[in-house]
Amino acid sequence: MIVVVDYGMGNVRSIVKKVNNFGFEAASSSNPKIIDGATKIIIPGVGHFAEGMKNLKEGGLIEILNKKIINEKVPVLGICLGMQLLTNHSEEGNCRGLGWIEGKTVRFDFKDKNNLRVPHIGWNNINTKSDSLILKDTKLDYRYYFTHSYFVVCSNSDEVIATTEYGFCFDSIIQKDNIYGTQFHPEKSHIDGFKIILNFLTLS
C-alpha cells in the first residue's frame, strides 16, 4: 500500500486520489501501524516547517518514519514542505528537521531584486543536473507548479537532481538513495507532474 502521511499540513486527499487513479492502493494516515505496512510513503506539505515537525513528533510519527525510510529503505517522496522536512534544519521557526538529507532550508531574500516576490508562486522549468528514475520520460522543457517562501540548500551536490531559476538557482528535486523530494507540486503540475508521481510509484 502507498501511504500518504497525514500530519495536518498537506493536501493529502488530492494526492491519494491521484495515486488511486493510477491504479495503486493508497490511503492517507497518521496511524503508525498503517504507516508500518507501507510499501512506499509520500510526505506532502503546505505550511510552516516548525509546525510540521511539531505535528510529526506529537503524532508519534518520527520513529516509525525513521524505521521505514532509514532502516527498511522504503522509498519516500517529500513534496514542497515535505521535501524541506527531509533536511537537517530550517530557518522557518529555527527548527531541526528529519535529517535524512544533509542540508538546510532557508528563506528567499530579494532585497536587491524588487521585481521578485515572496512567496514564489507560479510555473517554472527545472534544469536537470543528474539522471534519476523519477524523471523518466518527462520533457526537458516542461514547467511545474511552485508555491513556497523557503527552499532547500543541499550540502552534497550529488544529491541534487534538478534546480530551478527564481532570482538564482535553487534545488528543486533531490534524491539520496530511496529518498526523493520535489519543491514543486507534481500533483498540480499536469502531465509531466503526474508522470513524476507515476515514476515514483513504479520504483522497484
pLDDT tens for 33-75 read 999 999 999 999 899 999 999 999 999 999 999 999 999 999 9
pLDDT of residue 140: 85
Distances (CA, A) of 54 to 46, 48, 51, 183: 14, 10, 5, 21
Q: Say which range, 46-50, 91-95, 139-143, 166-170, has the weakest mean pLDDT.
A: 139-143
Domains of the chain, start order: 2-201 (3.40.50.880)
Residue type, 165: E
Question: What kind and span of H or E run contains 148?
Answer: strand 143-148
Question: Are 182 and 77 contacting, i.e. CB atoms less than 8 angstroms apart?
Answer: yes
pTM for the full predicted model: 0.96
- When pLDDT is averaged across residues 24-30 and rounded to a whole number, the result is 96
Give the chain's mean pLDDT.
Answer: 96
Separation between Cα atoms, residue 84 and residue 23, nearest integer Å: 28
pLDDT at residue 2 is higher than 90: yes
Cell 512506499 belongs to: 40
The residues that are catalytic are 80, 185, 187
3-class DSSP state of 143: strand
